[in-house]
Amino acid sequence: MRSQNLSRLTPYLQSVLRIVAAFIYIAHGTQKLFGIPAAARVPLRSLLGAAGVLETVGGALMLLGLFTRPVAFLLSGQMAVAYYLAHWPGEKWPILNGGELAVLFCFIWLFFVAAGPGPWSLDALRKRS
């Protein structure tokens, strides 16, 4: 395929990236809040409980593509703080301190702050009406 043909897929792949990343992100939240898909429940009134709420609710909004830019900004900041508090005090390299997901999610959400949700989103539907 020519790059010109592939370029037209970019907005749709942007939506797919948002949906897949959000689906994975939600699982981190539901694990903290409900012990699903694995038993790792944390107290709701804790820093990890707050993270679970942000991951579950924010992830659901990202999955739907609703209020994408402000939610992505909030989630990107959450991941930066998570990396700083939970991973940075140990080794400084993400591969050594287990912080790869926090770094990756931080920059994925930051991408959506700038790029928006893509065409397959409730935000795109709201713009059309």
> What Cα–Cα distance (Å) separates residue 76 from each residue in 4, 9, 17, 33, 70?
31, 25, 15, 20, 10
Local confidence pLDDT in tens for the 129 residues of the chain: 577 788 999 999 999 999 999 999 999 999 999 999 988 899 999 999 999 999 999 999 999 999 999 999 999 999 999 999 999 998 999 999 999 999 999 999 999 999 999 999 999 999 987
Give residue 83's domain range.
3-116
**Whether the predicted model's global pTM rises above the 0.85 cut:** yes
Q: Are 88 and 99 in contact (CB under 8 A)?
A: yes
Residue 104, domain member (yes or no): yes
Residue 90, domain member (yes or no): yes
| Cα–Cα dist 54/59, whole Å | 7
Residue 126, domain member (yes or no): no
At position 75, the amino acid (one-letter code) is L
Indicate the number of domains in the chain. Answer: 1
Residue 124, domain member (yes or no): no
Residue 122, domain member (yes or no): no
Residue 62, domain member (yes or no): yes
